Structure 1
Amino acid sequence: MFDPTDLYRLSGDVPELTDPVLLYHLEGFVDAGGAGRLAVGHLLAELEHRVVATFDVDRLLDYRSRRPLMTFDTDRWVDCESPELVVYLTHDAAGTPFLVMHGPEPDREWELFVEAVGTLATRLNIGKLVTAHGIPMAAPHTRPLGLTGHGTRPGLTSGPGSPFGRIQVPGSAASLLELRLGSRGYDALGYAVHVPHYLAQAEYPRAAVTALEAVSRDTGLVFPMDGLRDAAEKTTAEIEEQIIASAELSTAIQGLEQQYDAFHGAERENLMAESTPMPTGEELAAQFERFLAERDEKDS
């Protein structure tokens, strides 16, 4: 039996903590709009933090499936952007300590990785594990973002239940952490933010705002949100600008709005009215990809 503690090394003094939250996001699984990545990246950019533990990515990653970028300068190699999977200690806006685990999702040794996180949870007295990511949904950006909460026991999340019923989906290391550690008595929960399918490949800060607001609501942590909310408002304004300039996009969004409102009961009396032709996700995505490309050209 391999020792799971061999998968990571502790950095400096191990902090004495009382039931801290571990907020984690592992890149590589579905994350529409960059909801989880932007949320965790925002916190690490806004809050002072220090490394508590570093995982051995040489054992966990398949470099041939996601090759690190290397820099070649004239006649020699000068740099390699080595991936890192790290646990940080930080404090929220009210001074409450919590932990953040961020980095690439392991390609291998998932069960041993879960065991390793479990030993860290014991060592650091972790009281709750929390994750968030985005999933693409056929919903317009002009309506409130939906949110599906899930947890290892009832009452951990205050959000609405899942609209999906019982389904099978491809697994993720984040989901396995919740499943395995939950079976051992840990409180583990997560959120899937419903991101408009035509924005799934873009960075959509509003999804990250929704994710962090849910985390704050169910953990009591207080996050600095002004910068992220400003980015969300700017992105929304740019999207609206593009829609106003395109009759085709405007019609497509109106069709999605009609479908959304009918589904949520806002227009049940008008279900027999003439409906707007519904766009496909691919059609909307293609139009917004053109918009995003134009925006990137202006920013460069």
Structure 2
Amino acid sequence: MPERLVHIVDDAPALAADNGGTLTMVLVLDGFLDAGNAAGRAAQHLVDLSDGPVLATFDVDQLHDYRARRPPMSFVRDHYESYDAPRLVVRQLADAGGTPYLLLHGPEPDNRWEAFCRAVREVVERLGVTRVVGIGSVPMAVPHTRPIAITHHANDPELLSAESPWRGELRIPSSAQSLLEVRLGEWGHPAMGFVAHVPHYLAQMDYPQASAALLEQVEIAGRLTIDLSGLRAESEDREAEITRYLDNNEEVAEVVAALERQYDAFERAEESGSSLLAADQPLPTGDELGREFERFLAGLDGPDAPDGDTDSQGEQD
């Protein structure tokens, strides 16, 4: 008989009963939909604000591919120590007004997605979750100088609070998080989510602007109040870094300007109801952007990085 995939504490409180029969669970799985570390940083912000008890723990050994995503550990002079074991847990948190909610966060399962979905269903039904709200982010050909666009999605059309910018059907790579939304809908549990569009030239660095934008949506969907002042301060610092870099790198600034023109043309077309394809405004290719922003990313390793530092960053696992 296989081991249980999730362990829920025996004395888990009846949070929904204490909150008028409603309980939101925020869902953040690291490893796929997280350009700019937007969702991961958002989850960490929630924990920093209200680090509550763990109510459920998933058996990561059954879900994680250690060779594909090797956990870090420390080697101190002559011995190994401080192994950072991956954890996939459900935490009890509270918003600024004391309203309880849950946060399911940790590495996306590498395998056994269907079993993982069934385990989450057990958590939802045992703890009385009434709505699951997932967040993520994807790299897009958009400029950082324009508002962050958000794609809304849900397993029940009545949960949607904005119209989708997409038309027709898109064939995309699946994720455990997206599959979970589908399965929860089949089991009669409301689930929805938000995906931030992060400028793809900033996708490999922390982009707190997107984290704040995602949590604004979580506030609305989950009827929560979240202190975003810390994230907004980080966003201002990051924006200042980017501005300083662009002021000293004309070629990079020109590429951003091209993205701005394309973005604005799309906006005008949307408002007028005409074609989304802007005439005479060619979008730079991925190769062109990659070449232009290799130095951009290297220069933003830290606030004090020298302008002439053009070493390439190592690829992330």
Relative to the length of structure 1, the TM-score reads 0.91
Alignment of 1:25-174 (within 5 A): 25-174=28-177
1:279 aligns with 2:284: yes
Call closer, same or farther: CA 1:164–1:230 in 2, change over 3 Å: farther
Give the match's secondary structure for 1:180.
helix
Change (3 A) 1:164 1:277: closer
Give 1:228's match in structure 2, choosing from 217, 231, 235: 231
Q: How far, CA to CA, are the matches of 2:172 and 2:281 in structure 1?
A: 32
Alpha carbons of 1:226 and 1:288: their partners in 2 closer, same or farther (altered >3 Å)?
A: farther
Q: C-alpha distance in 2, partners of 1:56/1:91?
A: 25
Matches of 1:290 and 1:175, distance apart in 2: 34
Q: 1:148 to 1:298 in 2, by over 3 A?
A: closer
CA contact (8 A) 1:206 1:229 kept: yes
Name the residue aligned to 2:11.
13
Following TM superposition, by how much is the alpha carbon of 1:276 offset from its aligned partner in structure 2, in angstroms? 6.3
Partners of 2:70 and 2:188 in 1: how far apart? Answer: 37
Q: Number of residue pairs matched?
A: 297
Decide whether the 8 Å contact of 1:137 with 1:197 is kept in 2.
yes
Q: Do the aligned residues in 2 keep the contact of 1:252 with 1:279 (CA within 8 Å)?
A: yes
Deviations 1:111-151 (A, max 9, x none): 11110110111110000001111111111111111111000
Instruction: Please say which of residues 236-245 and 99-108 is displaced more in the overlay.
Output: 236-245
Q: CA deviation at 1:282?
A: 4.1
User: Could you report, residue by residue, the CA deviation over 1:254-290 in whole angstroms, capped at 9, with x for unpaired residues?
Assistant: 1111111111117989x9x995664334443444442
Partner of 2:299: 294
Question: Distance in 1 between the 2:230 and 2:146 partners?
Answer: 22
> Residue 291 and residue 167 in structure 1: after superposition, are their counterparts in 2 closer, same or farther (change >3 A)?
closer
Deviation at 1:162, TM superposition (A): 3.8
Unaligned runs of at least 5 residues, structure 1: none
Would the alpha carbon gap of residues 203 and 286 (structure 1) be closer, same or farther in structure 2, given more than 3 Å must change?
farther
- For 1:11 and 1:156, the matched residues in 2 are separated by 30
Q: Which runs of 5+ in 2 are unaligned?
A: 17-21, 306-317
Q: Structure 1 pair 274/118, CA: closer, same or farther in 2 (3 Å)? A: closer
Structure 1 residues 87-119: Cα deviation after superposition (integer angstroms, max 9, x where no partner): 000100111100001100111111111101101
Cα pair distance change 1:298/1:152, threshold 3 Å: closer
* Partner deviation per Cα, 1:1-30 (whole Å, 9 max, x = no partner): 857xx1122246211121310101111113
Identity %: 44
Q: Structure 1 residues 252, 176: CA separation in 2 closer, same or farther (over 3 Å shift)?
A: same
TM-aligned CA deviation for residue 293 of structure 1: 2.8
Between the aligned partners of 1:180 and 1:104, the Cα distance in structure 2 is: 19
Q: 1:131 and 1:292 mapped to 2: Cα distance?
A: 28
* Structure-2 separation of matches of 1:29 and 1:215: 19
* Counterpart Cα distance in 1 of 2:118 and 2:301: 42
What is the aligned partner in structure 1 of residue 251 from structure 2? 248
**Bigger relative contact order (CA 8 A; separation at least 6):** 1
| C-alpha separation in 2, matches of 1:192 and 1:126 | 22
Residues 176-229 of structure 1: CA deviation (Å, up to 9, x unaligned): 110001111111001111111111111111111111111112221110100001
- Equivalent-residue separation in structure 1 for 2:48 and 2:80 (angstroms): 29
Structure-2 change in CA distance of 1:299 and 1:88 (3 Å): farther
Provide the aligned C-alpha RMSD in A.
2.4
Residue 213 (structure 2) aligned to one of 205, 210, 214 = 210
176, 192, 195: which is aligned to 1:192?
195
Letter in 1 for 2:14: E
CA distance in 2, matches of 1:126, 1:104: 21
Amino acid at match of 2:298: A
Change (3 A) 1:220 1:135: same
